[in-house]
A and B are shown apart, each in its own frame.
Chain A
Amino acid sequence: MKNVKKIVAMAMAAALCVVSLTACGGSSDASATFVIGGSGPLTGPAAVYGIAVKNGAQIAVDEINAAGGVNGMTLELNFQDDEHDAEKAVNAYNTVKDAGAKVFLGTVTSTPCEAVVEKTKVDNMFQLTPSGSSVKAVQYENAFRICFSDPGQGTAAAQYIGQDLGLKKVAIIWDNSDVYSNGIYEKFKAEAANAGLEIVSEQSFQGADNKDFNTQLIAVNEAAPDIVFLPIYYQAAALILQQANQAGFDLKFFGCDGLDGIIGQLEGDAALAEGVMLLTPFVADDPDEKVQSFVKTYQEKFNEVPNQFAADAYDGVYVIKAALEDAGVKDASVAVSELCDLLKASMVKITVEGVTGTMTWTADGECAKTPMGMVIKDGNYTAIAD
């Protein structure tokens, strides 16, 4: 019996090797096709972000190719699943590296991004994360991002609530097991006093498995805040909205880019999201021509309104295009490391007008652009009218 197991195991191992080898082949002409590698969660609880990024990036790649490519090169997107896991993200990165990727558009979420940036640093591969927002996600010179950093969002949110909305009393519900939530919470708290805010209640919970927020909501409701700040992801936020409604609490909510996607999550209860405010660089009903054309294409192809992650990824591909043009790269067979040095130098020079605003970069990888306040109105994300 043991022998059969051995033979079966060896046969399977051989089969696996063959599959992995064949999977590598089949890439087209090396000097004319420029491969952009990427990774994000396409399965699991964070899949909505990864899928949005993949779709957004694909639209940009198709558009650029239809318009003649970049300096004569055709773009190709190789986007792998990383399941929102640091270990799997490194595997995904290695996969796209094997497939001949020259730059890396990813990862989508912060913790995997921190793991992958260690590897891209060693390979000196140019990395551009659409939405990895933690500080360490772009800690090396070869890494840049499209979205805001977590501390940047915290500061901006405090200023927006205090100054633009003119509110005073704030309660916070945050996830103290999450990198994203922590990063925003810390800076929000530090900036609150400067923005004239008084934090009346701070309630934390642990992790995405938490499904009952009644304790936190009761405490928050007793403190009678003007607004409740939710620096968390949309799944938990949807539960908070539902449970606040069931308990009959009349609370107003304010979130960051993690709340994007909440309307879809609430499904039948979408009305609960009415009046929820978010701070994000992208609004799907922005009358801007570029935004409208992107939203239209996205809806035609994927039958839904793009969220901010899709927009970040769409911009990401155009940023790579702009950097390639600025650096004058014409041959896609250029070495990864050499290309990285060229693009690094170009990134701090270029200005890109994208669907998430006008962007410039500093050498530390941070993107400068203005956040916009959004409010959910009639089941749609709408810019807050001043």
Chain B
Amino acid sequence: MSERKNSERAKGFSLLKIVPSKSRGKLVTVLIPVVFFAVCALLVNLGVLRSHFAGLLVPLCYYIIMAVSLNFTVGILGELSLGHAGFMCIGAYVGGLFTLLTQDSITSAWIRFPIAILLGGLIAALAGFLIGVPILRLRGDYLAIVTLAFGEIVRNLVQNIYLSRDKAGLHFSFTNAIEPERLDPATNVDIMKGPMALNGISPDATLLISVILVVITIIVILNMVDSRAGRAIMSIRDNRIAAESTGINITKYKLIVFSLSAFFAGIAGVLFAHYSTVSPPKFDYNMSILILVFVVLGGVGNIRGSIIATAILYILPEVLRGFQSYRMLIYAIVLIVMMLLNNNERFNAWKKNTTERLTAWRKGLFRKKSGKEAE
């Protein structure tokens, strides 16, 4: 999308240099998960990584989508949202129900699953838009409280829905179980039963589809950040009054951010529903906080950081299984250490120093290479 002039174009041998220098960082961000998952998939197929690790890949995909989309609200718009699990919940239930209701009529997963993904994403985006409208006037702590409440409201609503299907069609009830008299016992199938888990959704979320969705999410969000709208959104974050006085429509951009962020959270929810078991308690505020932890420890506003932090923090407790009961203790220590290091001046100075030295070293390497070619 960037059509900037590319003066310092490819002298060396690097594939990255084909891309305009401004987009190189973005390309790396997209390639990190692609390469990571490709290597993992290869190792799983070769039998090097066992089923335990293979089972972590799809969840990692939907957590990355969650973290990246939340970072769009928290890091780019600069508003603390604590209700991200609510959007995921909407996506999971909408997508999951769609598949449950249509898996007999639409047998091809290649048709059904994309519709489920779109539908889940769109309904979640609609919810994001609806929640965006009343909270436009709120900022900071107040917004955080309302989004927290939103997430809990969604979970509590879902938890009270009873839905059954028999030959007469669908039966619906709220707060109380459907009276048995209304149902035909021979053909009745309970679809949603209050807090009970949603069972029997065809497990369509393959690693390929999940990685494609991760890539789409990252590309859309990165390009959004770099677009005119993205600049406007960041100006709202940096100084709301200044932004407003230059004629930026704050309402519009806030709604765009909330809807887009919710759209991707909804997609993550659909993936979740087609991979794991969906039950309302899963989407409580702990889930929202977990995603926020990924975002904060990866660096607020840093999309690539969110991806890496999610990968480390999601996989860490699983590979620590060898430590038995000390597992969670070590995990907590890692969290604290990451947090301290991120804020430590000396560590950051050391990081900067090393980076510069590495860049210099790499440049030297390229120079040598191109020199040899010339010979």
Interface residues of A (CB under 8 A from B): 1-7, 9, 12-13, 16-17, 19-24, 42-43, 80-81, 85-87, 90-92, 94-95, 97-98, 111, 114-115, 118, 134, 136, 139, 176-179, 182, 186, 206-207
Contacts and interface: CB of A to CB of B under 8 A. Distances in A.
B327 A81 contact: yes
A86 B359 CA distance: 45
A57 B172 CA distance: 43
B276 A114 contact: no
Contact of B319 (A19, A94, A176): A19
Contacts of A80: 321
Contacts of A19: 319-320, 322
Interface in B307-322: 308, 311-312, 315-316, 318-322
A81 B32 CA distance: 30
Point out which of B25, B50, B315, B325 has the most chain A C-beta atoms below 10 A from its C-beta: B50
B2 interface: no
A145 to B, nearest CB: 17
Q: In which size bucket is the chain B interface?
A: 35 or more
A80 B36 CA distance: 27
B348 to A, nearest CB: 8
Given A1-B352, A86-B197, 17 more contacts: A2-B304, A2-B355, A7-B358, A9-B32, A16-B315, A16-B316, A23-B321, A80-B321, A81-B321, A81-B327, A87-B282, A94-B50, A98-B50, A111-B281, A176-B194, A178-B195, A179-B197
Contact of A3 (B52, B156, B312, B359): B359
A136 B49 contact: no
B159 interface: yes
30 contacts: A2-B25, A2-B304, A4-B358, A12-B312, A16-B312, A16-B315, A16-B316, A19-B320, A22-B322, A24-B52, A90-B276, A91-B52, A91-B56, A94-B54, A111-B197, A111-B281, A114-B197, A118-B203, A118-B277, A134-B196, A136-B199, A177-B159, A177-B195, A177-B280, A179-B195, A179-B279, A182-B194, A182-B195, A182-B196, A206-B156
B138 interface: no
B128 interface: no
Contact of B281 (A6, A91, A177): A177
B45 interface: no
A62 to B, nearest CB: 17
Contacts of B281: 111, 177-178, 207
A87 B59 contact: yes
Contacts, number: 131
Contacts of B280: 177
Q: Which 7 A-B pairs have CB atoms at the shortest separation, nearest pair first?
A: A115-B277, A98-B50, A23-B322, A94-B52, A86-B277, A94-B55, A9-B308
B170 interface: no
Contacts of A91: 52, 55-56, 318
B229 interface: no
Nearest to A112: B277
Interface in B6-46: 25, 28, 32, 36, 43
B351 interface: yes
B282 to A, nearest CB: 7
A16 B277 CA distance: 27
A55 to B, nearest CB: 13
Contact of A6 (B32, B53, B276, B328): B32
Contacts of B25: 2
A353 to B, nearest CB: 33
Contacts of A186: 177
B340 to A, nearest CB: 15
Most-contacted residue by chain A among B54, B199, B312, B318 (CB, 10 A)? B318
B49 A9 contact: no
B305 interface: yes
Contact of A179 (B56, B196, B304, B305): B196
Contact of B52 (A12, A87, A97): A97
Contacts of A134: 196
Given A13-B36, A136-B199, A177-B280, A4 B56 contact: no
B251 interface: no
A179 B278 CA distance: 13
Interface in B355-372: 355, 358-359
Given A1-B351, A2-B355, A91-B318, A9 B311 contact: yes
B321 A17 contact: no
A102 to B, nearest CB: 15
Interface in B253-306: 276-277, 279-282, 284, 304-305
Given A3-B358, A4-B354, A177-B195, A20 B325 contact: no
Nearest to A1: B355
A134 B196 CA distance: 9
